[in-house]
Amino acid sequence: MHLLSQSRRLRQTPFSQGVEDNGVKAYTVYNRMLLPTVFESVEADYRHLKSHVQVWDVSCERQVELNGPDATRLMQRLTPRNLEKMQADQCYYVPIVDENGGMLNDPVAIKHSEDRWWISIADSDLLLWVKGLAVGARLDVQVFEPDVSPLAVQGPKSDDLMAQIFGEEVRGIRFFRHKRLAFQDTSFVVARSGYSKQGGYEIYVENGAYGMPLWDALFDAGASLNVRPGCPNLIERIEGGMLSYGNDMTMENTPLECGLGKFCKPGENSDHIGKGALTREAETGPARQIRAISIPGDPVSPARSAWPLFKDGQRVGQVTSTAWSPDFGTNVSIGMVDANHWDAGTVKRTAIMGHRNGCDIAQL
Amino acid sequence: MHLLSQSRRLRQTPFSQGVEDNGVKAYTVYNRMLLPTVFESVEADYRHLKSHVQVWDVSCERQVELNGPDATRLMQRLTPRNLEKMQADQCYYVPIVDENGGMLNDPVAIKHSEDRWWISIADSDLLLWVKGLAVGARLDVQVFEPDVSPLAVQGPKSDDLMAQIFGEEVRGIRFFRHKRLAFQDTSFVVARSGYSKQGGYEIYVENGAYGMPLWDALFDAGASLNVRPGCPNLIERIEGGMLSYGNDMTMENTPLECGLGKFCKPGENSDHIGKGALTREAETGPARQIRAISIPGDPVSPARSAWPLFKDGQRVGQVTSTAWSPDFGTNVSIGMVDANHWDAGTVKRTAIMGHRNGCDIAQL
C-alpha cells in the first residue's frame, strides 16, 4: 500500500478529530473528502460490525439540496424512479441517469417537502449535473451543498445506542423513513438506513460544529455496548451484495445493467432525462449485468482495477470488487457479466487463472 | 501520514505500471484518479526538477470534449474569458464560473476547431456541469470524456528530451500553443505547458495502449539527461505562485478573488453564465483576494486544511498551501486575505501563533 498525501483539497470532516484520535489506519478519498477504511484491520472491523455497534464518519456522502418551486419537477427529471407516491418522511434509492441512460450516481433521496429535497450522494460531483441542468433549463430552484455531514450508527446494537441519545422514539423509525429528533439545542434528521446489512441509522448532522459533541455523546453512551469507530467494510458490503458506484458501475453502465430495473419501469415516469435510452434498452434487455460471483481457493487481494473475466478464452465480463469472506469461507466478489453467459440465478463461480499487467484475470 | 486504500474507484492510469515500477512512495487522489506526489522525497524531487528533466503522470488532468455545431457557443458560455481571437493551435487558461460567479474549475482549454474543444481539467467533475448545461439548454453538442491522458515532461532539459522523441520541430512550439506530432504509428497533441515554472510540455496521449510505450521511449532516450519520474511538486508550485483548485480556491470564490480579473473583463464576453454576478463584483472590487505569503521561522508542515489567519485578534483570512522552500530560505505559502488587510504589493509576511483543533493558526 502507498501513503496518502493530504491537503485541504482532500477535505477533512466534522468528525476527523475523533477518527484520528481513535487511530484510523487508512483512508480512501470519496467526493474529495476523507473516508476511513481501516481501524483495527478490515477483518477485525468486520467481526466487530457484525457483533456490536459502530459509529461511521460518512460525511463524504455529501448532500445536494434542491430548494425552490421547481425542486420536485427537477428531482423527477433526474431519475427514472417514479417519485409521485413518495412521502415527506421517506428516503428513496434513486438511480440518476444521463441522456444516454448512463449512471451518474446512485444516491439516496430524502424528501423534506415538495419544495425541498436532499440527495445523499455516492462518489461523483452530482451537484454540478443538477446545477447545470437547472441553469441550462432556467428552472426556479436553488441547488447547493448544505453544511450537512452524515454520521452512521451501524450494527446489531444500533437501536440500543441510538435510544440513549435520541430517546425511545428512535426505535419506531421504519426502514428508509426519517424523523427529526432533538440533540442538545438543535435537531437532526435521523433515518433508518446505512451502507451495511447489520441494521442501523444515518444521522444527518447539520452544522459541523455539532460533529464532535455528537461523536463524543455516542462514545460516552456506548461504552457498555462495546461501541467502536468503524467504516463501510469491504467484506461485509460485498457479502451483502451492496453496489459501489465507481467500483461496480460507472457512467458507462445503465441501471438495467446494474440490476436496478425495478426502479426504471417504462411509462411510470414520463419526464426523466434517460427515458428514451432506457426504453429502448428495456425492449432488448441489457447486454451485460451485475452478478455476485464467488472465487474459490485461497484469499485473493482486493481488486485495484477491473479484472478481465474469461470463459473458454473469450472475454465475457469483469470482476470489480473482491474480498475474502471468513463467514462464507470463500472470496466474495461482484462483477459484470455479458448476457450470453449468465447461469440460472445470480450466483456464479469463477477461478483465478493468473496475472497480467499487474492485474488478476478470472475465468468462469 | 495515513495509508491509502485502493480500489477501481480510484482510477489507475495508462502510466501506473511505470510509476509503480519506479518506486512511487505516495499518491493523492485527483479527479478520482491516482496522482503521484512523492518519488524520492518532496525536497529531492524539487531539486531534481529544477536541474534536469522529469516525466509526470498527470492523467488526472482528464479531458472534457465538446464536439458538435454548438461547441464554441457552449465553451463561451462556460467562461468569462473572451475566446473570439483564440486560434486553433492555442491553449487558454479559462476560469469556469457558475451563475453566482463561483469558480467550478480552472482548466486549460485546447481548441481543435470551431466544432471541437478539449478542456483539461482541475479537480472537479466539470464533465457533469458542461453536460448538464448542454442537456438542460438542448444544445447541439456531445460532451464526454475521451480516452486522453496527459503526460508532462518538465524541467530545464525538457526540450532536449522531447526533441529525441518528437524531432527538432518540437522546439518551435511556443508557450501555450500546441501541435500534433507523430509517435510510432500514431500522433499526439503536444503543447508547451505544464504545472511548473521550469519549462516543458504536456503530451495528450490518445488511446491508453500507447501510454507505456511512450513512457518507455522517454526513459530510454533520457538516460543521459538524468531523466526521472516526477510529479507536480508542492514546493516548486507554491514558489511559482501557481494556484491549486480545491486548495487555494473553491466554488465559494470568484475569479476576482483569485486574482484572475484579467480574464474577466466586463463587456468582453456578453454571454457567459456568471456575467451578472461578476459585473456586480467588479464595481465594488473583491472582498478578499489570493496573496503570496511568507512564514518566517522553522519549517511548517504542509497545510491539511485552511489555517485561520488573524491580525490583532481579528480573523482576516486563511492560509491554504504551505511548504518550506530551501531556495527561498523561508516557508512559502498561498492564502486568501480580506480586502482591508492587503499591504501594498502582493507579498505578505505572517507568523504562526499556535495550534487549535489540530490546525495551525497564523497571524499577520
Q: At what angle do helices B71-78 and B126-136 cross, to 10 degrees?
A: 120
pLDDT tens for each residue of A156-180: 999 999 999 999 999 999 999 999 9
Which mean pLDDT values do the consecutive 10-residue runs of chain A (364 residues) have? Answer: 96 97 98 98 98 98 98 96 93 97 97 96 98 97 98 98 98 97 98 98 98 98 97 97 97 96 80 92 93 90 92 90 95 92 68 66 75
**List of chain B residues whose C-beta atoms are within 8 Å of the C-beta of residue A104:** 128
pLDDT in tens for each of the 364 residues of chain B? 899 999 999 999 999 999 999 999 999 999 999 999 999 999 999 999 999 999 999 999 999 999 999 999 999 999 999 999 999 999 999 999 999 999 999 999 999 999 999 999 999 999 999 999 999 999 999 999 999 999 999 999 999 999 999 999 999 999 999 999 999 999 999 999 999 999 999 999 999 999 999 999 999 999 999 999 999 999 999 999 999 999 999 999 999 999 999 998 867 777 899 999 999 999 999 999 999 999 988 899 899 999 999 888 889 999 999 999 999 999 999 999 999 887 755 567 777 766 665 567 777 7
The alpha carbon of residue A9 is apart from the nearest alpha carbon of chain B, in Å, by 4
pLDDT for A347: 61
Nearest-Cα residue of chain B relative to residue A38? B5
A253 and chain B: CB distance < 8 Å anywhere? no
pTM of the model: 0.96
pLDDT for A359: 61
**List of chain A residues whose C-beta atoms are within 8 Å of the C-beta of residue B29:** 4, 10, 28-29, 32
**CA B258 – CA A209 distance, rounded (Å):** 28
pLDDT tens for each residue of A305-361: 999 998 888 899 999 999 999 999 999 999 999 998 877 555 667 777 666 655 677
A25 and chain B: CB distance < 8 Å anywhere? yes
**List of chain B residues whose C-beta atoms are within 8 Å of the C-beta of residue A12:** 304-305
pLDDT for B226: 97
pLDDT for B355: 66
Pairing of strands B148-154, B200-206: antiparallel
**CA B245 – CA A9 distance, rounded (Å):** 8
Angstrom CA distances, B65 to A92, A347, B111, B118, stand at 33, 39, 10, 5
SS (H, E, C) chain B: CEEECCCCCCECCCCHHHHHHCCCCEEEEECCEEEEEECCCHHHHHHHHHHCCEEEECCCCCEEEEECCCHHHHHHHHCCCCCCCCCCCEEEECCEECCCCCEEECCEEEEEECCEEEEECCCCCHHHHHHHHHHHCCCCCEEECCCEEEEEEECCCHHHHHHHHHCHHHHHCCECEEEEEEECCEEEEEEECCCCCCCEEEEEEECHHHHHHHHHHHHHHCHHHCCEEECCCHHHHHHCCCCCECCCECCCCCCCCCCCHHHCCCCCCCCCCCHHHHHHHHHHCCCEEEEEEEECCCCCCCCCCCEEEEECCEEEEEEEEEEEECCCCEEEEEEEEEHHHCCCCCEEECEEEEEECCEEEEEC
pLDDT for B327: 96
